[in-house]
Amino acid sequence: MTARLIFLQVLAVAALLGAALIVLYYSISAHLEEDNRKELASQSALLARWLADTETRAPGDPLIGKTRAELIATLPVFIRLLAADGRLLVESPQSPAPPRDAFPSPGQTAAGWRSPSRQRLLLSSCWLPAPPGQRAPLLQIAYDVSDDDTLLRHLRQRIGLVFALVLVLSGILTLLITRGVFRPLARLTAAAAGVHASQLNARINEAGWPVELAALAHEFDAMLARLDESFRRLARFSSDLSHELRTPINNLRGEAEVALSRQREPAEYRRVLESGLEECARLGRLIDTLLFIAKADNPAEGIRCRTLDGAAECRAVADFFEAMAAERNLAILVRGGGPVHGDPELVRRALANLVDNAVRHTAIGGHIDLTVREQSGRGTDIEVRDNGAGINAEHLPRIFERFYRGEKSPGQAHATSGFGLGLAIVKSIMDLHGGTVEIASTPGSGTTITLFFPGPAPGKMTEM
């Protein structure tokens, strides 16, 4: 990233600076050329007049009496005078002389010419003033501009030098700046690298971060906190799971071993086998349940939702528990109504788990109410309310966790109250439906659990 930034920065500087320097160079060189041309034009006009005026010089002029050739030889420019018929009248002695046809016609712009000795000459021509009726001689004039070339060459060298220097400097500067900017990132990286499963409680401490990174650092810490929590939950889950698995396997193994250790009555063997079957059924149910929750965590298959009659589903579940309720003289009442958008099997399973809990925790003669309430346009609530023992507030936050049992009572838990997975399943089912589950409880007066099923998403197929 740093290399890339430096590369891009240097590239940008090269492009901008290069363009600026090129424009500068060309404007200078154009300006010089223009000056030269103007100079040449005025010089040639002056010379033309001067050469024409040789006969009319003022008395005392030191040039009087000199021939044109002598005059020309004193000048720093190359001059060639041609008669109208093309005859050479006079020429500066410099050599090499630019050829005649290299000169532009009079009135045309000056042309450049380069001598074999690398001198650059600017060429121009004009007519000498002539008395009326005579054809005027042609003046060719060449002006040495080699000095300008040298100047421009120096300029080019300087420009190149400056260009290279600026590029190097900008590269170094970018490197320094980038380092400075990225130093917190490097610290963040180091902090992230220091996080291991064994020490998820480490935090990267928000203070001291630049504003731009504070949010990232904060989110990073929040992520660590979530991971930490998931990890703890997972660790707790696996330890609970291994306990749940060990118990029935231990029973199976121990009973079989003891039974086989000596000769017994057939009825004894029978009892052991029957007990083994019970443990197997327990294991099978545990596996089913765990698979169900695992699948709900990663719902690859999705669920098959359709619109159900909420009250009818509640009545079906109430029917299922009718015998149990009658046994304990509990009343299960279904009230209200409304459409529930859900997977019928899952909806029943969730309701059955809730009613099962309610039946188990409600004293003889109590009542359980299933209330279906349509929430205008949003979905439907199903509320399961009992007037049973209630749950202490300290258990509520964790009540939907797997294997969480409010009151630990190992002996009693085994046969009657299942694995402590009932509410975890309800939570999973509601997650699958995109719904929510809420619990409110007052010890001594009862528990209310509310399931919210959202309505079908608009424009979405009922088959999910």
Partner 1 sequence: MSVLVIEDEAKAAAFIRRGLEENGFTVVLSAQGDEGLALARTEAFEAIVLDISLPVLSGFGILAALRESGNTTPILCLTARDAVADRVKGLELGADDYLVKPFSFAELLARLRSVVRRRNPATESVLHIADLQLDLPKLRATRAGQRLELTAKEFQLLALLARRQGEVLSRTVIANEVWDVNFDSDTNVVEVAIRRLRKKVDEPFPTQLIHTVRGVGYVLEAGRP
Neighbours of 449 (CB within 10 A): 23
Q: 178 or 417: whose CB is closer to partner 1? A: 417
Of the candidate spans 112-120, 152-160, 271-279, 388-396, the one that interacts with partner 1 by CB under 8 A turns out to be 271-279
CB of 324 to partner 1, least distance (A): 5
Q: Tell me which residues in 19-48 interact with partner 1 (CB under 8 A).
A: none
Return the number of the residue (301 or 394) whose C-beta is nearest partner 1. 301
Binding mask 416-445 for partner 1 (x = CB under 8 A): xxxx--x-----------------------
With CB under 8 A, what is the number of residues at the site for partner 1? 35
Report if residue 287 touches partner 1, rule: CB under 8 A. Answer: yes
Residue with tokens 């346009």: 377
Token pair for residue 363? 């004293």
> Are 464 and 303 spatial neighbours (Cβ–Cβ below 8 Å)?
yes
Nearer to partner 1, 278 or 401 (CB): 278
Shortest distance in whole angstroms from residue 349 CB to partner 1: 5
Contact between 173 and partner 1 (CB under 8 A)? no
Strand ranges inside 225-378, DSSP E: 306-309, 331-337, 339-342, 367-375
Stretch binding partner 1 (CB under 8 A), from 8-16, 187-195, 223-231, 282-290:
282-290
State the minimum distance, in angstroms, from the CB of residue 367 to partner 1: 18
Min dist. Cβ of residue 327 to partner 1 (A): 5
Per CB under 8 A, 278 contacts partner 1? yes
Shortest Å, Cβ 421 to partner 1: 8
Token output for 48:
């033309």
Cα–Cα distance measured from residue 136 to residue 454, given in angstroms and rounded to the nearest whole number: 107
Rg of the chain (C-alpha set): 52
Q: Give dist(CA 399, CA 246) in Å, integer.
A: 23
Q: Binding residue for partner 1 (CB under 8 A) from 153, 226, 253, 285?
A: 285
Which range binds partner 1 by CB under 8 A, 67-75, 119-127, 273-281, 450-458?
Answer: 273-281
- Residue range at the interface with partner 1 (CB under 8 A); choices 176-184, 234-242, 281-289, 378-386: 281-289
- Strand positions, DSSP E, 260-313: 306-309
The binder of partner 1 chosen from 64, 169, 186, 277 (CB under 8 A): 277
Cβ contacts of 335 within 8 Å, gap of 6 or more = 369, 370, 371, 372
In the region spanning residues 356 to 375, those forming contacts with partner 1, defined by CB under 8 A, are 356
Instruction: Find, among 227, 179, 238, 184, the residue nearest to 206 by Cα.
Output: 184
Name the nearest CA neighbour of 402 among 233, 284, 281.
233
Q: Six-digit token pair at 243?
A: 């306990």
In the numeric block, which tokens belong to residue 238? 């696996």
Contact in structure between 126 and 170 (CB atoms under 8 Å): no
Q: Looking at beta carbons only, is 148 or 278 nearer to partner 1?
A: 278
Show contacts with partner 1 in window 381-420 (CB under 8 A): 416-419
Cα distances (angstroms) measured from residue 325 to each of 226, 322, 361, 363, 442: 41, 5, 12, 11, 22
Nearer to partner 1, 344 or 454 (CB): 344
Question: Which of 273, 333, 363, 457 forms a contact with partner 1 (CB under 8 A)?
Answer: 273
Q: How far apart are CA 146 and CA 113, in angstroms?
A: 11
Q: Which span (137-145, 176-184, 225-233, 270-278) binds partner 1, by CB under 8 A? A: 270-278
- Interface segment toward partner 1; rule CB under 8 A; list 34-42, 43-51, 107-115, 274-282: 274-282
Per rule CB under 8 A, is residue 290 in the interface with partner 1? Answer: no
DSSP string for 41-105:
HHHHHHHHHHHHGGGGPPTT-TTTT--HHHHHHTSSSEEEEE-TTS-EEEE-S-SSPPPGGGSPP
Residues 293-352 that bind partner 1 (CB under 8 A): 301, 316, 319-324, 326-327, 345, 348-349, 352
Contacts with partner 1, residue ranges (CB under 8 A): 273-278, 280-281, 283-285, 287-288, 291, 301, 316, 319-324, 326-327, 345, 348-349, 352-353, 356, 416-419, 422
